[in-house]
Amino acid sequence: MKAWGVACMADLHGIILAYHTAPELGDLVRSRTSASLPFCGRYRLIDFSLSSMQNAGVRDVGVVMQRDYQSLLDHLGGGKEWDLSRKRGGLRLLPPFGNLGNPTGEYEGVIEALCAVESYIGNIKQRYVVITRGNLAANIDLADVMARHLESGADVTAVCTPHIPRRAHQRYITDGGFVKELLYRQGGRGAGYASLEMYIMSKETLLGIMERGSSGRKYRFHRDEIAGLLASGGKVAVYVHSGYARHIFSVGEYYKASMDMLDAANRATLFPDERPVRTKDRSDVSTYYGEEASSKNCLVADGCFIEGVIENCILFRGVKVGNGARVKNAVVMQDTVIGEGAELSYVISDKNVEISPYITLAGSPRLPLVIPKMSRI
């Protein structure tokens, strides 16, 4: 990165919104937020936002939390893996500092979550802020986004994708790189770019947005405040990220995103060599394959013990597949034990599950079967 680029990125502060727990994820978020959901064999979803910031040279990051964040605390620690462990600045974990009358329920929107940590934001030293959700699986070149933001002269730059999701989402219609129309909760295909809910703006702009939203009790960042900014003559630029990007809001989206990782082209854009994705280190021995073991089109982490047949699967660290077991089209999380002769298809097994020998468990491509953490079946 050029010297001017390093200087610019040192003037950018990261804020990751990790408070949200999507109810459509069901048992997968029973005791964790969406941001701490395990993904692709060894990562958590928040690793992608943190790594995008670290790779771009962002030195200070605040993670906004609310509840069910013990799993997130255990994973992030002091931020050492992302080079954010410092006496001053670095990684800061932010439980709610203020009570806006909603201490136990979900924040009504991004503005309410930001206002709960207003004192932290007010003390940010950098001139610019990047805000993103922690449940985004994408590897964003934030240095390029920042450069485009400064060149455009926009009040806000919104990171978008040309790949329109089927679920309800926010969308921008643009003209010459700037937003001319904002669409809220669109479903299916259509014109424009889908929002990745990642924004760069000045700290001053953010504080103004927070003040207007709080005073008017309008807490939706996209629907209320970005729309209000446009209506008042503000400029919102778009940055189009063409690589892999997916928000994880439901079991179906989690399963689809996981299966996407079996495609080398998707992995290449999510894990480019020039922007590595970092995660909490766990040293494991190499995976063992028995004489009768078979693996086809699978991602298998270290520390696994495979004696059965696996096909189209993602196996996290420490998984054991017994002799004669057959596991297909499945996501099997850390330290799960699958007994001999068991058969699993279209299954998502959470951590530390024990599956008895010769049992059959099956879901479907559209409705995979979720086995909760610590289950004994």
Sketch the domain layout of the chain as residue ranges: 3-270, 288-371
CA 168 vs CA 19, 81, 183, 187, 199: distances in Å = 20, 34, 11, 4, 19
Q: Check pLDDT > 80 for residue 346.
A: yes
**CA 47-219-241 angle, 5° bins:** 40
CA 263 vs CA 86, 254, 255, 329, 377: distances in Å = 37, 15, 14, 13, 31
User: Of 79-83, 185-189, 194-198, 263-267, where does mean pLDDT reach its minimum?
Assistant: 185-189
Tokens of 259: 């299966």
The highest-level CATH class for domain 3-270 is alpha beta
Q: Of 3.30.1360.170, 2.160.10.10, 3.40.50.880, 3.40.718.10, which CATH number belongs to 288-371?
A: 2.160.10.10
**Res 248: pLDDT:** 92
357: which DSSP letter? T
- Residue 20 DSSP SS3: coil
Name the phi and psi angles at 201, rounded to 5. -160, 170
- Residue 206 DSSP SS3: helix
With a pLDDT cut of 70, the percent of the chain lying above it is 94
Q: Is the pTM of this model over 0.85?
A: yes
Band of pLDDT at residue 17, cut at 50, 70 and 90? very high
